[in-house]
Structure 1
Amino acid sequence: MTAKPQRRIPATYMRGGTSKGVFFRLEDLPEAARVPGASRDALLMRVIGSPDPYGKHTDGMGGATSSTSKCVILSPSSVPDHDVDYLYGQVSIDTAFVDWSGNCGNLSSAVGPFAIANGLVDPSRVPENGHCIVRIWQANIGKTIIAHVPMTNGEVQETGDFELDGVTFPAAEIPLEFVDPSDDGDAGAMFPTGNLVDKLDVPGVGTFDVTLITAGIPTIFLRAADLGFDGTELQGAVNDDGALLAKLEAIRAAGAVRMGLIADASLASTRQHTPKVAWVAPPKAYTSSSGKAIAASDIDVLARAMSMGKLHHAMMGTASVAIATAAAVPGTLVNEAAGGGAPGVVLFGHPSGTLRAGADVKRVDGRWTVTRAVMSRSARVLMEGNVRVPPLD
């Protein structure tokens, strides 16, 4: 057999928020991978090291968690008044699957810095100092994200004193605006069923009160107490319990059907990234995964969310949009757990600590909509150069 050399593909390994991913310029990908399809998926899976039956990603760039098994493809924007098109792929760890159904809110914070550094933003719009406004078209969901990227002496500023729970070291703050992040479909827009609270029947599991919302990402919210939780759970209490994970996946599948995302619960495995399952509870003191003490008075609400079948170690950026939006709408389960009212900004507790997020909501023709959600993240380049990929044919 004639040995074939590995292919070198220009890439950048970046942290964005509490996630990490491999970033590519579309033009740098092999020709067959520049369009959606099997060739692109196969390439990204091999870059990450999936599918890996050992669940370690030893032979790839992935980190064997939902937060670290991600790829991003960027290109000059095809949409007027935007700088860059941002396409996100969530790579499954143990199955041959790339989910393109949603966005990654955390990695959204790295898109602006990458776009500036790689010439995807008109140089005339990049200030020497201050903040560069990067207009991002999130191609997975067809939405606009505006990143405010700090600049120092003509370069993206990565170091700083902004601390983000779930990230070990401080960095420069990058405020993000998610513009009109609710769904535009005909099934009920932000609330797909048209209701703030629904009864969800889950075969073999039970019936639950749920808030079904599409804002940032489709999300199924439940009361923590209805799951036997108190809202202070850390990863070990959930991820080591196979029966509990199966129960939560059954709830996710039933919710996906109810939201109109899939026709049958058996199809949930083809849409692993969305919807998310999350549970909320009124404030209560707990100790975060880093040992940080969180007092009940420090937060407005407790929130936990599942990602790719596991409890997330912190909170997904897109789910943070959903939390802030649902909290701002009186009558939802999140609003109930947060004490009612109509908060424009909510500070919630997650497994790694706390996070602040805000949302502007209003009623239009009798239906709720969200015009903007805001939060801050940080990002930095971890490594840049070429990723090596063995022949795939």
Structure 2
Amino acid sequence: MLSAVCSVRQTASGIAPMQRRLLSRIANPLPATFLRGGTSKGIFLKRSDLPESQDDWPPIFQGIMGSPDPQYRRQLNGMGGGVSSLSKICVVGPPSSPETGADVEYTFVQVGIEDGALDLSGNCGNLSSMIGVFALDEGLCSPRTTDGNPGLATVRSFNTNTSKLIDTTFPVTPDLSPDLTLPEVETAGVPGKASRIVLQFVKPGGARTGKLLPTSSPVDTVPYSDDASATIPVSLVDATNPTVFVSAEHLAKTLGLLKEQITAEFLTRPDVEATLERIRQAGAVRMGLDPAAKAQPKIAVLSAPTSSSDGGAGVDIVIHAFSMGVLHKAVPMTVGLCLGVAANVKGTLAHDIVSTVWSTRNTAQGELVRIRHPGGTVDVGAKFDEDGTVLNAQVVRTGRRLMKGVVWW
């Protein structure tokens, strides 16, 4: 099995002779589909078209994406786009065990732009929304339909990164082919309307650590510099993907600023990025995760809505999330889902912000949380059992088929 982070940097001359002979039996070009899911794009591959051992994946996936590219960071030699949301691969196949109850299973791979490292430490919520579509297109499973609404189909997938079940429900034609062209909903950051894809994570708590709150506390303190006594409050939450949440107010105090100065532009300053990376790594250690794994946990800065437009739009909380050390142009969907769950967990930084906003509006706490991110807004839902167990987290996405054919690696 490939470790959570595979930092092998292999080139044609750096591949062992035995591996080179094995890879020579793998098709090049390789059958592939290029799909958009939410605000991400990625290459979707069938598991049967790849080497049996994941240890042999690095040179194939690096070649597909055009990594490593430390000098230019554009991945011009591959299908990547020079940002983390465009350097992704999903490997889909039949379920390896009937005990999961899934129709298909998939492995998500984040490919490092500069170093070509393969990170399997988490999942991608945006691309998860297209697993069912790809599975039906490739004949990997049959959809689940209901007599009450024959125009909708559901595919249940098992994500091997997090060992979690995800349901995707989307429109289908009479012959049960996915129909993505209906002008039903918009996804912030994506032009135009498309078919509604309901993405539902089943029991998403403890995706990596086994616990919704890995430290059993809604708020912890972690160091943000080499001085261990210099600490900042954080909420460490693991739902769909582990995330370190920090408030803009606390970050401002840490940096000797006003919270109004914590803008998107400010967050892209190298010194601020470095501080947030220290916080992220410290949070990873407290969660029992590898701090060197860039993809997980994510880190996000939260703040209360302050503008009149936010008030008019019913925004409950504002987020600026980072992916692979870079400020995301929207929000990684697993982070958005994690925030939707965290906002309903008493005592977390997210809950403190959202509950204050709801109290000022005389609004009762509900299942939906409206999040504003740099690309727009998204509504995230979370349902809890009476004992506090997260039953599911869901969000609406859209997707589009972009290309089907072969890809050179």
Q: CA deviation at 1:298?
A: 2.7
Contact 1:238 1:311 in 2 (8 A): yes
Contact 1:79 1:137 in 2 (8 A): no
* SS of match in other structure, 2:83: coil
Deviations 1:300-329 (A, max 9, x none): 111111110011111111111110101011
Aligned to 1:201: 223
| Distance change (3 Å), C-alpha of 1:94 and 1:346 | same
Normalized against structure 1, the TM-score is what? 0.87
Q: Does 2:330 align with 1:306?
A: no
Contact 2:164 2:207 in 1 (8 A): no
Letter of the structure 2 residue corresponding to residue 326 of structure 1: A
Aligned to 1:289: none
Normalized against structure 2, the TM-score is what? 0.84
Structure 1 stretch displaced more, 339-348 or 251-260:
339-348
Q: Does 2:83 align with 1:71?
A: no
Contact 1:49 1:57 in 2 (8 A): yes
Q: CA deviation at 1:204?
A: 2.9
| Distance change (3 Å), C-alpha of 1:373 and 1:150 | same
Across the two proteins, how many residue pairs are aligned to each other?
Answer: 364
Matches within 5 A, 1:1-393: 7-29=28-50, 33-37=51-55, 39-53=56-70, 54-80=72-98, 81-122=101-142, 129-154=150-175, 155-161=177-183, 162-183=185-206, 189-204=211-226, 206-228=230-252, 229-230=259-260, 233-234=263-264, 236-239=265-268, 241-262=269-290, 268-269=291-292, 271-285=293-307, 294-295=310-311, 297-340=313-356, 342-362=365-385, 364=387, 368-389=388-409
Contact 2:36 2:401 in 1 (8 A): yes
Contact 1:231 1:279 in 2 (8 A): no
Deviations 1:241-279 (A, max 9, x none): 2111111111111000011113xxxxx33x111001111
| Structure 1 unaligned blocks of 5 or more | 263-267, 287-292
| Distance change (3 Å), C-alpha of 1:342 and 1:298 | closer
Contact 1:303 1:349 in 2 (8 A): yes
Deviations 1:147-173 (A, max 9, x none): 102102322111122101011232111
* SS of match in other structure, 1:156: coil
- Give the RMSD, CA atoms, in angstroms: 2.4
Contact 2:342 2:351 in 1 (8 A): yes
Q: Distance in 1 between matches of 2:391 and 2:144?
A: 29
Runs of 4+ in 1 over 6 A off after TM superposition: none
Contact 1:135 1:144 in 2 (8 A): yes
Q: CA deviation at 1:294?
A: 4.5
* SS of match in other structure, 2:60: helix
| Structure 2 unaligned blocks of 5 or more | 1-23, 253-258, 357-363
Q: Distance in 1 between matches of 2:260 and 2:351?
A: 16
Aligned to 1:290: none
